[in-house]
Structure 1
Amino acid sequence: MGNDGCDQVNEENRSQNGEMQLKRTIGYFEGASFIVGTIVGAGIFVSPTGVLKYSLLNVGVALIIWTACGIVSLMGALCYAELGTALPLSGGEYSHIKRALGSPLAFIFLWTAVFNKPASNAARALLFAEYATKPFYGECPVPDVLKKSLALAVLWCLGILNGRSVKMAAWVQTVFTVLKMMALSVIAVGGIVLLIRGRKENVARFENAFGSEIPDAAQVAEAFYQGLYAYGGWWSLNYLSEEVKNPSRNIPLTVMTTLPSITVFYLLVNISYLTVLTPKEVVSSVAVAVTWADRVIPSVAWIIPASVAISIFGALNSSVFTLGRLTYAGSQSGHLPTIVSMLNVHHWTPAPAMIFSTVIASIFIIPSDLIALTNYFGFSVWLMIGLTCTSLIVLRYREPNLHRPYKVFLPVAFGMVAISLFLVLAPIVWSPKVQYIYASIFMLGGLLLYVPFVHFKIHFAFIDKITCYLQLLLEVSPPHYKSE
């Protein structure tokens, strides 16, 4: 680095603490909590209307689409499980795309994610603030300053927590995942009880499930898109691969148990909603779970809004954790400033990466209108999933001797590539907007930074001085891995 003081600190840290690297502290239960906690956010509680709306209120078609979305998510997660066990590295898709498809594509993914994922975290933090403060204001709107202040406070609390202790972050994730699943269980069991009682108006909607108009192909595709959004987050475990205990066993096992469980829960919760509410009421409700609670458990209906806030908090914690690993991996590859790849010398956590991603998310919260821009980056998520599954196929043929503790059935990977391509093109073809062009230009614009600073390695001396000062201030040191 060219700074004797910083180099001396690095050597002292290594000699005192051994090899500076991320620790494997995430077991099966913690991994399952991260996947469930990321997938199950506010959507299933607040507004599971998209699938039913585009299914033309056809209950049977809607439930089939929910099931199909769960199967597609499981297919994708199994593809990621092979990559995560063969290449147990932090960074998820970024690391796999870089290995198989090259540094430029990986940089475009990182460039897009560093813009899109913090904006998503900002949106979650604002939504949490909305639900956490709403009970104190009743029908009155919550002051914007209060919402933004609480959102910033929550964001920084989670950023600091994740930067200080992986075990504590995993513990928080586990607790909030259990709480949100308990709330979902209340809704699911409540629906089953009402069905068993067999009131005519409750059962009739399922006896004639396919009686309504059948949607056309475009509407089914749109409903499918809405359903897959509710399953978003199944890829989160790959960001933690470097910290998972016995990844060869725990990553596939976690995927194979959590995704089917979430699919069953989603089906039961939707059945419960439709047992109590008509399809029209579901589609017109702003918060379906709250409407359900007012009908079924009016005396303790406050449990559901509280559960929504808990659910959002757990999803935000998981997203903050995984985003830190992404920026950490990008910095290790030279795609972000060096300081972002360093670990705290006391806790061996990527504290600078957590600070970096939290600062960007905070910028989005202050002028929250910016968050709306990221809605047009939805297609980029499936573009990167498609590239990741393509990476699996490429590595199968290019590196056949790579040790793969788990191998997915190869046609599953080809199927995911085809589905991803369809989901990338669908919103652009059906509802073309100029914003999609801007989003594409922004993604490709990352190459304007890649060419000079990564490919040609243009470097400024003052950056080394800033890095050294930050290193001493934050008490961080570069990771150091034993040679194989």
Structure 2
Amino acid sequence: MDEQPTANDGGVALKKTIGYFSAVNFIFNVILGTGIFISPGAVLLYSQLNVGVSLVIWAVCGLISITGALCYAELGTTFPSSGGEFFYIKRSLGPIPAFIFLWTATIFLRPAIITVQALMFAEYTIQPFFPGCPSPEAIKKIAAIAVILVVGIINCLSVKWIIVMQNVFSVLKMASLSAIALCGIVQLAMGKTKNFHNAFAGGVPNVSQIGEAFYQGMFAYGGWNALNYVVGWNSLNYMAEEIKNPSKNIPRSIITSMCTVMVFYLLVNISYLTVLTPKELVSSAAVSVTWADRMIPTWAWIIPVSVALSIFGSLNGGMFMLGRLNYAGSKEGHLPSIISMLHVHYLTPAPAMIISTIIACVFVIPSDLISLTNYFSFCTWLLVGLTCISLIVLRFREPHLERPYKVFLPIAFVVVGVSAFLVLAPIVQNPKIQYFYALLFMFSGILVYIPFVHFKLKIPYMDKVTCYLQLLLEVSPTDIFEDAKTE
């Protein structure tokens, strides 16, 4: 990894400090969070306790993630700048759809995801001190806010620290999941295959239930544990501007990490089912802890520790991406200008990280994880479909763009079709008012866009506030040093 440059190296800008190994570990950490420790029960529940159907759904979720990754790899290598989907949608479909994405992701989806990760981290770290009873809500909230603040500060100080932490947690996470997977293989070899006899003999889920089962599975692949916006397989695109040789490393890193994750998820699910019955798996609030109590009672404490470390790694990666999204949105004029400034010493988007941290802290509230997963996924797949439509539009509108990596175009149409199914299936067969509320919130962003972005309505004294914050936070616009050199 390159040494952290300073402003004297030629201007204030995000630097290329992330290589192939670090990029693979980063995605791996973002994906492997709490999802694999929680989603198996929900997937099996919506699969009507049908073991065969649930395992097929896990495998198909992996394939969908890989096809989505291939589409995002083309966009990331064609436009290697931080900001992800916001930048792609704005270029292909215009500023209003891009702002709707930005509004939904920055104000609602990703801060809430980070909050739930923090609450789950607090749950797993505090629960051992309260054996046999629920941990106090107040203490859990304080711990959740504390971990959000710690991660926010780290992201403000150094990109190198973030990458080092991700690499360390990746190794620890791999070790714990490898142990679970290996125990499952041993159990199968010992003949513990009862739950796999007549695997497809359970109930048959309807279309709506299949869609909701995919919501749960895709959240786990998305890199968020109980409630994840599906960003795991596109997380690398948010830091494309900081990756060495992006045209080569982005597609290699995404495909390597996604294939590894798919194998791990299938093995871990099989391991759970060698020890627990489908009903036990569904009824367990923390399936990995229940599995450990049965499998390794003396060393069962290792699992909560592993889960906490896993959550922390995902929380760190999620905060990193949210800060980059806010930074990119501000550079395009869709958020206040202070958010697009970088710290003059650390060269990190400190204001973007600070606002992300504040919003996430505000969101520290208890939630129904499964329900929120479904509602977030509904919004998520609308945005994923929009992004892949952007890829298709750009292929026809700008065919001569230099594309270091090009996905087989029918794959993009497949992802759009999958997105449409995952959005429409739960609504058509089992409509819920919450889906309408989600749509209403998304399109309410237009009420903000028209006056403040389109007509550029100025808030009184905003320039003075920006100047004061710039001095207080020691941040600078990214082009100030280049302008000075030009003069």
Using structure 2 for the length normalisation, give the TM-score.
0.92
Question: 1:211, 1:434 → 2: CA distance?
Answer: 33
CA distance in 2, matches of 1:354, 1:181: 28
Select 1:78's aligned residue among 47, 67, 70: 70
Deviation for aligned residue 1:374: 8.4
- CA distance in 2 between counterparts of 1:409 and 1:108 reads 28
Report what 1:421 is aligned to: 420
The residue number in structure 1 matching 2:139 is: 146
Aligned partner letter, 1:341? S
User: Cα gap change, 1:482/1:252 in structure 2, threshold over 3 Å: closer, same or farther?
Assistant: farther
Deviations 1:288-342 (A, max 9, x none): 1111111211110111111111111111111000000000000000111100000
Q: Which residue does the alignment assign to 1:117?
A: 110
Aligned residue number for residue 229 of structure 1: 219
Alignment of 1:298-313 (within 5 A): 298-313=297-312
Give the CA RMSD over aligned residues. Answer: 2.0
Alignment pair present for 1:45 and 2:37: yes
- Could you say which residue in structure 1 is the equivalent of 2:342? 343
The equivalent residue for 1:291 is 290
Output the amino acid matched with 2:330: S
Aligned to 2:449: 450
Residue number among 60, 67, 82 corresponding to 2:52 in the alignment: 60
More deviation in 49-58 or 416-425? 49-58
Q: TM-score, normalised by structure 1?
A: 0.92
User: Identity over the aligned pairs, expressed in percent?
Assistant: 60
Q: For residue 112 of structure 1, what is the amino acid of its counterpart? A: T
How far apart in 2 are the matches of 1:466 and 1:345? 19
The change in CA–CA distance for 1:273 and 1:457 in structure 2 (over 3 A counts) is same
* Other-structure match for 1:20: 12
Supply the distance in 2 between the matched residues of 1:382 and 1:258 (Cα, whole angstroms): 21
Amino acid aligned to 1:57: L
Q: Secondary structure at the match of 2:381?
A: helix
Residue matched to 1:194? 187
Contact 2:207 2:429 in 1 (8 A): no
Check whether the contact 2:219–2:373 (CA below 8 A) recurs between aligned residues.
no
Shift of 1:17: 4.5
Moved over 4 A (4+): 367-375
Contact 1:119/1:374 (8 A) holds in 2: no
Is there any run of 5+ residues in structure 1 with no aligned partner, and where? Answer: 1-12
The CA deviation at 1:213 is 4.1
* Alignment CA distance shift 1:342-1:380 (3 Å): same
Q: CA deviation at 1:243?
A: 0.8
Q: Deviations over 1:187-208 (max 9, x none)?
A: 000011111222xxx1233343
Q: SS in structure 2 opposite 1:291? A: helix
Hey, what's the Cα distance between the residues in 1 that align with 2:340 and 2:141?
Answer: 29
Q: Which residue of 1 aligns with 2:165?
A: 172
Q: 1:245 to 1:51 in 2, by over 3 A?
A: same
8 Å CA contact retained: 1:93, 1:388: yes
Alignment of 1:10-409 (within 5 A): 16-115=8-107, 116-198=109-191, 202-232=192-222, 233-365=232-364, 367-368=365-366, 376-409=375-408
SS in 2 for 1:245: coil
Provide Cα deviations, 1:235-294, integer angstroms capped at 9, x if missing partner: 211111111111001000011111111000000001111111222221222221111111
Change (3 A) 1:399 1:360: same
Between the aligned partners of 1:149 and 1:319, the Cα distance in structure 2 is 20
Query: Post-superposition shift, 1:230?
Result: 1.5
2:151 and 2:319 in contact (8 A); partners too: yes
The CA distance in 1 between the partners of 2:47 and 2:375, in whole Å, is 23
| 1:7 equivalent in structure 2 | none
Cα distance, 1:133 vs. partner? Answer: 0.4
Please report how far the alpha carbon of residue 53 of structure 1 lies from its aligned counterpart in structure 2 after TM superposition: 2.0
Amino acid at match of 2:179: V
Unpaired segments of 5 or more residues in structure 2? 1-5, 223-231
Q: Residue 49 of structure 1 aligns to a residue in which SS? A: helix
Question: Which amino acid in structure 2 is aligned with residue 63 of structure 1?
Answer: L
Change (3 A) 1:221 1:122: closer
Range with greater deviation from structure 2 (331-340 or 211-220)? 211-220
Give 1:416 shift: 0.5
Cα distance in 1, alignment partners of residues 432 and 207 from structure 2: 21
Are the equivalent residues in 1 in contact too, given 2:216–2:373 (CA < 8 A)? no
SS at match of 2:292: helix
Q: 1:364–1:370: 8 Å Cα contact kept in structure 2? A: no
* CA displacement at 1:54 relative to structure 2: 2.5
Contact 2:215–2:373 (CA under 8 A) maintained in structure 1? no
Q: CA deviation at 1:398?
A: 0.5
Alignment-derived partner of residue 467 in structure 1: 466
Give distance in 2, aligned partners of 1:105 and 1:388.
10
Contact 2:215 2:377 (8 Å CA) reproduced: no
Could you say if the C-alpha distance between residues 215 and 368 of structure 1 is closer, same or farther in structure 2, counting changes exceeding 3 Å? closer
For 1:109 and 1:47, the matched residues in 2 are separated by: 26
CA distance in 2, matches of 1:41, 1:451: 38
Offset, 1:455: 1.0
Amino acid at match of 2:177: L
> Taking structure 1 as reference, are residues 109 and 404 closer, same or farther at Cα in structure 2, changes over 3 Å only?
same
Structure 1 window deviating more from structure 2 (146-155 vs 71-80): it is 146-155
Instruction: Report the CA distance between 1:370 and its aligned residue.
Output: 11
d(CA) in 1 for partners of 2:351, 2:10: 20
Which range is displaced more, 392-401 or 269-278? 269-278
CA distance in 2, matches of 1:430, 1:171: 46
Q: Check the 8 A contact 1:81/1:406 in 2, yes or no.
A: yes
